[in-house]
Amino acid sequence: MSLAKSIPYNLKRYPPAEMRRRAEEFFAEMKRRRTVRDFSDRPVPREVVETCLRTAGTAPNGANMQPWYFVVISDPAIKREIRLAAEAEEREFYERRAPEDWLEALEPFGTNPHKPFLEKAPYLIAIFGQNYHFDENGQKVKHYYVTESVGIATGMLIAALHHAGLATLTHTPSPMKFLNRILDRPPSEHPHLLLVVGYPAEDATVPVISKKSLDEIATFI
């Protein structure tokens, strides 16, 4: 392959005071984001989700292969099928597979194998990482840094949805292979996570938790 054509990059620049203000404002907004486990069934405008997915699709990624695929589920029958499959895995996890220390770490969050939100929330977004694709000549093309790329895109999606006023839950039933079967996705794709999207239930609560301070998460050297 040859070198891509290049064009000037006009990054929007701000004076330092405005940069500080923008950074503070964004931090304040992102700090308000909380994972929610009780969802309302209130419908969400589809175009909002579409635009947030476009935002996710701008994520930096390995060799611009854009190794992600999002299946947005609102069909009640498919949501039910996913709930039943996820709950079966989760029962295995909570009752057998999970080691004691993991269950202890989860205790403050009161999570359990019951996942009613998988049916109640208006949208589930199943996020897949694509390990490879086939080009127009049927040649297999490998993708690079798939986990990193899909992780970044997912973070951007969560931020975009929050910014638009929607709550999310990053759900990771394990193993998640059932998503390939139910959603008819090819073997080149592996499920990354299942994002539950909607409004919080009127009476939704969130656990009181704290975030590490800047000193705990970063050093400047």
Which CB atom, from 13 or from 96, has the smaller least distance to ligand IYR? 96
Question: Taking the complex as a whole, how short is the minimal distance between the CB of residue 196 and ligand IYR, in angstroms?
Answer: 10
* Residues binding ligand IYR: number (CB under 6 A): 8
Q: Which residues make Cβ contacts (< 8 Å) with residue 87, sequence separation at least 6?
A: 113, 114, 115, 118
Which residue's Cβ has the minimum distance to ligand IYR? 111
Q: Identify which of 81, 192, 83, 96 has the alpha carbon closest to the alpha carbon of residue 143.
A: 192
Q: How many C-beta atoms lie closer than 10 Å to residue 82's C-beta?
A: 25
Considering only residues 93 to 152 of the shown chain, the ones binding ligand IYR according to CB under 6 A are: 93, 106, 111
- Pairing state between β 68-73 and 123-130: antiparallel
| Six token digits for residue 8 | 């000037």
Burial class of residue 48 in the structure, from the number of CB atoms within 10 Å of its CB (0-12 exposed, 13-18 middle, 19+ buried): middle
- Asked if residue 173 binds ligand IYR (CB under 6 A), the reply is yes
Considering only residues 28 to 87 of the shown chain, the ones binding ligand IYR according to CB under 6 A are: none
Which CB atom, from 5 or from 212, has the smaller least distance to ligand IYR? 212
Question: Taking the complex as a whole, how short is the minimal distance between the CB of residue 103 and ligand IYR, in angstroms?
Answer: 9
Binds ligand IYR (CB under 6 A): choice among 79, 83, 143, 171: 171
Q: Where on the chain is the footprint of ligand IYR (CB under 6 A)? A: 90, 93, 106, 111, 171-174
